[in-house]
């Protein structure tokens, strides 16, 4: 199984790994980042989270080939704080989020993430959940689909696409990925389709909705910051502007003095910044990485460090 870990060196350096540290890989995937973390923490412990059972099974075998000082939770990372507390862990030395969809998930048509291979309209990270892409496309109202495609896909021809989906829906059920791609192409015309690739944006929007990605990210980042020890690092790799805006805004909020006390000669500790920005601007993939993996093109890595517990 081919899987490329995006910004691997940069994220490992960003975590500032200690041999006896406690680290969290919030997005285990197929274990690319986790295996490298585990190699460097012989006396520490790695906790990892993922909703995709198939990925967990594969990653666990990779990790066991290194050592056994790890724990995997088959859970959304929104449950990170609760799961760690149940294991008696109150603070950690570092946390990594790699918010991209793993290459095997994209490349395997049966998962429904790919707009280049035929497969069922699924897109669930956790295959036990009820909501699927088919349900979104087949049951959401016109207004809801418009809002979804404009907001999460930022697609300027969302109205034409939704109109065509609604037209087709009156005649038959839309069940496969390539059916949806054909609908998108019919709606916008071949010239726009091959120039702008709106199918990428529409599939992204549906995937975000199915997996509740942005709401979960927004809710978990404050928990992740709170979990860090003094000097602990948080690294977040995003793949589109919607994610990056959320990360940038929350990092800004926690790294600046509270507006209520700005200008005072002495700032009380409880109003001082909780974190400092290690990266003022996000790190992006090197030219050499882009040659190996074109999917790294949109990746951005932001890193912060905890300065007040």
Q: What is the pLDDT of residue 104?
A: 67
> According to the model, what pLDDT value does residue 295 have?
77
**DSSP secondary structure code for residue 283 in this structure:** B
Q: How would you classify the pairing of strands 92-98 and 228-238?
A: parallel
Per-residue b or e along 272-291, where b marks 16 or more CB atoms closer than 10 Å to that residue's CB: ebbbebbeeebbebeeebee
Residue reference for tokens 């999917």: 295
Handedness of CA 106, 28, 124, 160 (dihedral sign): negative
Place of tokens 């990270």: 125
Tell which phi-psi region holds residue 197, choosing left (phi > 0), alpha (psi between -120 and 50) or beta.
Answer: left
Cα separation of 141 and 57, whole Å? Answer: 37
Report yes or no on whether pTM surpasses 0.75: yes
CB-based contact 178:184 (threshold 8 Å): no
Mean pLDDT, consecutive 10-residue stretches, the chain (309 aa), reads 80 98 96 97 97 93 97 96 97 96 71 91 92 98 98 97 98 97 98 97 96 96 98 97 97 88 76 93 94 88 95
What is the model's pLDDT at position 136? 98
CA atoms within 13 A on the CB side of 289: 16
Which domains occur in the chain, in start order? 8-98+216-306 (3.40.50.150), 114-211 (1.10.150.170)
């Amino acid at each position: 199984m081919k899987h490329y870990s995006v910004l691997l060196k940069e994220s490992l350096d960003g975590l500032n790994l200690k041999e006896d540290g406690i680290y969290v890989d919030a997005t285990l995937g197929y274990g690319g980042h986790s295996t490298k973390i585990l190699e460097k923490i012989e006396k520490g412990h790695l906790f990892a989270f993922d909703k995709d059972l198939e990925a967990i099974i594969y990653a666990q075998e990779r990790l066991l080939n290194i050592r056994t000082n790890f724990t995997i939770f088959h859970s959304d990372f929104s449950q990170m704080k609760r799961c760690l507390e149940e294991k008696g862990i109150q603070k950690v030395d570092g946390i990594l989020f790699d918010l991209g969809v793993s290459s095997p998930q994209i490349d395997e048509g049966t998962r429904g993430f790919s707009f280049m291979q035929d497969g069922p309209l699924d897109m669930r990270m956790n295959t036990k959940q009820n909501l699927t892409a088919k349900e979104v496309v087949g049951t959401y109202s016109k207004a809801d689909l418009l809002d979804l495609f404009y907001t999460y896909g930022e697609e300027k021809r969302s109205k034409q696409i939704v109109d065509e989906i609604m037209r087709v829906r009156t005649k038959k059920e839309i069940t496969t990925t390539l059916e949806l791609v054909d609908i998108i192409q019919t709606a916008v015309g071949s010239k726009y389709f091959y120039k702008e690739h709106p199918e990428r944006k529409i599939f992204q929007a549906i995937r975000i909705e199915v997996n509740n990605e942005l709401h979960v990210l927004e809710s978990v980042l404050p928990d992740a910051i709170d979990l860090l020890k003094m000097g602990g690092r948080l690294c977040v790799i995003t793949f589109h502007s919607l994610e990056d805006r959320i990360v940038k805004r929350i990092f800004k909020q926690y790294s600046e003095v509270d507006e209520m006390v700005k200008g005072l000669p002495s700032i009380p500790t409880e109003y001082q910044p909780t974190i400092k920005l290690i990266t003022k601007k996000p790190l992006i993939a090197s030219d050499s990485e882009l040659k190996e993996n074109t999917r790294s093109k949109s990746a951005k890595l932001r890193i912060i460090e905890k300065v007040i517990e």
